[in-house]
Amino acid sequence: MRRWWSSLGAGLVTGAADDDPSGIATYSQAGAQFGYQLAWTMLFTYPLMVVIQDISARIGRVTGRGIAGNIRAHYPGWVLQPIVWLLFAANILNLGADLGAMAEAVRLLVPALSGWVWIIFFGLACTLLPILLSHRIYVGVLKWLTLALFAYFGVLAVVHIDWARVARGVLIPHWSFDVQFWLMVMAILGTTISPYLFFWQATQEVEDTKAHAQRQPLRSKPSQAASALARIRLDTLIGMALSNLVGLAILIATAGTLGQARIEHVQTAAQAAEALRPLAGDAAFALFALGIVGTGLLSVPVLAGSAAYALGEACRWPVGFSRRPLQAKAFYTTIALAMLLGSLVNFAAINPMQALLWAAVLNGVVAVPVMVLIVKIAASRRIMDRFVVPAPWLVLAWVATGVMAVATLGWLLSMVAMRTA
């Protein structure tokens, strides 16, 4: 078990970070509004997540560069710059919404202190931890924080669930011509397949080669390929499985409680936790709220870190948590700036749902071109040398890209239609 746990890393943390408080709000809204009808989406998105995250990690391990570093090295600057700045903006909005949800969740449990106190506390904690801890210890902390996700399996244990209906919802896709139904499908796709996850997992594989002297980028040390690529595959399969199972657990729990009680409008994760209390009891409420805080402590550093990695590689800065602050001043400053801007989102006159809406739009705009570039890099022998991704995985990656393109286009057209109606 110790060997197995030590083999998990970037994939596990990336998958767990996907279930951030914003994602929890999306899955809660899906369960509350549509019951078990959208449970099939968690099964559908799993292979799409696995293939794009596996390829992202492989690119980092083979080339010794992250996604932004490879785009900078092999494509014109005008391709990279808009992607990086749109990613940065989307991450700030998402980060702000997550900090706000964490503060709301803590206030439900400990109402004595104001929400802004908790926002500042969590922002400072997530900024200082990577500075004060060594890279290896910090990665260990993030791995242990993934256990917070098991709170949502605990929620399932204390609420009544119609498992026959759950099985039908998972195995038999439900279709509807209702606009709100497809908007929720698109929201789930955008929540589960997010650009910041691509950048994070790739750069963490690069960090892994810096943290372990014996590990090298596979282009320069091909003898390490068999064990490294097998580890990446296992890590990604487990990480994305955990991500989707937790999302499914949240959707099932809220469908069996809020959905049955016809409480259909859940704007934040904290609202979902509060609504659970009279329906499922204090235990379900407390587990749900604690899960929000735990996943936030994991996802907020990933959001800030992925933005800093992308911007740093684009600007040719020294980057990485394996470097001390004085060795990567701009990198750590970017993380602190992202935390500050994310915190300020909660003090500005910005509705949390509006912030999440714009974050989803920006993520959708960024995801498709980034996925196209990732697949092209993975198929390039000039970049990947002998480690070009096998054809079946490339085909599945193009399918994932096409699904995201259709979802993003549908999302944008629906939003335009709703605005002009």
Torsion angles phi and psi, residue 127, rounded to 5: -80, -40
Residue in the block written with tokens 């996943």: 295
Residue 65 contacts residue 236 (beta carbons within 8 Å): no
- pLDDT of residue 5 exceeding 80, the answer is no
Going by pLDDT thresholds of 50, 70 and 90, the confidence category of residue 101 is: confident
**pLDDT of amino acid 352:** 64
Among 96, 109, 184, 94, CA closest to 410: 184
Report the alpha-carbon distance of residue 293 to residue 334 in Å, rounded. 23
What sign results for the dihedral spanned by CA atoms 186, 260, 252, 39?
negative
- Reading the block at residue 257, the tokens are 């409680």
- pLDDT of residue 4 exceeding 80, the answer is no
Q: How do the domains of the chain map onto residue ranges? A: 2-420
pLDDT digits (tens, 9 = 90+) for 143-194: 888 888 888 888 888 888 889 999 999 998 888 777 778 878 888 888 888 9
Residue 282, class by beta-carbon neighbours within 10 Å (0-12 exposed, 13-18 middle, 19+ buried)? exposed
Fold of 2-420: Amino acid/polyamine transporter I (1.20.1740)
- pLDDT of residue 350 exceeding 70, the answer is no
What is the model's pTM? 0.91
Largest CA distance in the chain: 61
Going by pLDDT thresholds of 50, 70 and 90, the confidence category of residue 283 is: confident
- pLDDT of residue 332 exceeding 80, the answer is yes
Q: Where are the alpha helices (DSSP H) in 178-268?
A: 179-192, 195-211, 225-254
Residue 274, class by beta-carbon neighbours within 10 Å (0-12 exposed, 13-18 middle, 19+ buried)? middle
Residue 359 contacts residue 345 (beta carbons within 8 Å): no
pLDDT digits (tens, 9 = 90+) for 186-232: 888 888 889 999 999 999 999 988 877 788 889 888 899 899 999 99
Going by pLDDT thresholds of 50, 70 and 90, the confidence category of residue 261 is: confident
pLDDT digits (tens, 9 = 90+) for 389-421: 999 999 999 999 999 888 878 777 776 776 666
